[in-house]
Structure 1
Amino acid sequence: MPEGRTLHLVDLENLVGGPFAPAEVMLASIDQFNRLAVRSLDDLVWVGTNPRLVLQAKRLMPQARCLTKGGPDGADLALLNELDNPTWIAERFDRVVIGSGDGIFSDVAREMRTLGVRVGVVARRGTVSLRLGYAVDFVRLFRPVWYPPRRGMKSSANHPRYPQPISRAKRACA
């Protein structure tokens, strides 16, 4: 077993805040994930996404294996389908880092830990389910880069709970 090798499981939509996040938000969120997950070049990365985002995911993470499935929880299920043999993963990896806060990963995280694999979560602040948080060894959070628009709103820039910073130019004119 390679010393210190990690398998990264990234639910792209959960990591960035939804399927409609702009490309620069996706890139910033992936950078945050890579930094907090302490990703190295010989680590393996699996990215789960819906079919509409698979090309974007491949562009943003060209070294990753992209898994796709449509429907509710499609990205989660695409990743979980690949984790059907936890013993195989435990024989090859010292650590698994989940890039999602969804509780659907808690059972597989618990099973990996019983096999001696260190399991962690890297996710946006406020998105990690309690069940998943208790099932892993560590949780690392980053500040959300983007907030999905609420119904009837065109963008997160209009979101009343998340005001955008006022630029210097606007402040000078006020």
Structure 2
Amino acid sequence: MITPVTHLDEFRARASRASRRSRHLELRRGRAMHLLDIENLVGSTRPTTSEVEEVMTIYEALVPTGVMDHYVVAVNHTALLAVGIAFHGVRLLARSGPDGADSALAETAYLDRIDLRFERVVIGSGDGFFVSLARWLTEAGLHVTVVARPGSLSRRLSTAVRDIIPLEPPTQHAA
């Protein structure tokens, strides 16, 4: 038999959980996280500052952004300076080795619990490494978009998300 005190405690616990859930949903509203594997977007393990700036100009023209968006950019340590010069106001991560930048981005997403803080996530990479992350975010109710260069999008990643934006350089017109 449930005593009135236990019943009241249970009611308070449920109300507290509902309130936390409501705060999380409010915190997420209108916010996006951009997780950028800039080497993959540029197509080079040693991107130059000008290559990064060019890719980001194209990215910003294709991807809807808002004033409350956050950016996390990952590179290997040899590209840190060139990439760092191209970006302002982003969280810049450096990790070398196979899938170094990919794992740094994924770890940040999981550890920072972006599923609770953002409504939308844009994964700037075509690497299959991000399949688990994309599925986790989708299952948490986030809208996940992948931005990738044509020909560099993993088949597994393309089937894990509904929204894919091809990152194509502008076509050069003859004068």
Structure 1 residue 166: Cα displacement: 10
In the alignment, what sits opposite 2:20? none
Structure 1 residue 167: Cα displacement: 7.5
Q: Deviations over 1:39-62 (max 9, x none)?
A: 223201000100111122221111
User: Which SS does the other structure have where 1:121 is aligned?
Assistant: strand
Unmatched runs of 5 consecutive residues or more in structure 2: 1-26
Distance 2:92 2:103 in 1: 13
User: Is residue 36–residue 122 contact of structure 1 (8 Å, CA) maintained in 2?
Assistant: no
In the alignment, what sits opposite 2:23? none
Distance 1:67 1:85 in 2: 14
Distance 1:63 1:10 in 2: 14
How many residues are treated as equivalent by the alignment?
Answer: 148
Query: In angstroms, what is the RMSD of aligned CA positions?
Result: 2.0
User: Is residue 119–residue 137 contact of structure 1 (8 Å, CA) maintained in 2?
Assistant: yes
In the alignment, what sits opposite 2:149? 124
**TM-score relative to the length of structure 2:** 0.77
**TM-score relative to the length of structure 1:** 0.77
User: Is residue 9–residue 47 contact of structure 1 (8 Å, CA) maintained in 2?
Assistant: yes
Is residue 39 of structure 2 the alignment partner of residue 13 of structure 1?
yes
In the alignment, what sits opposite 1:105? 130
Give the structure with the larger helix fraction: 2
Q: Which of the numbers 102, 114, 121 marks the counterpart of 1:76?
A: 102
Structure number with greater Rg is 2
Q: Which of the numbers 132, 139, 152 marks the counterpart of 1:114?
A: 139
Unmatched runs of 5 consecutive residues or more in structure 1: 146-164, 169-174
Is residue 74 of structure 2 the alignment partner of residue 48 of structure 1?
yes
Structure 1 residue 130: Cα displacement: 0.8
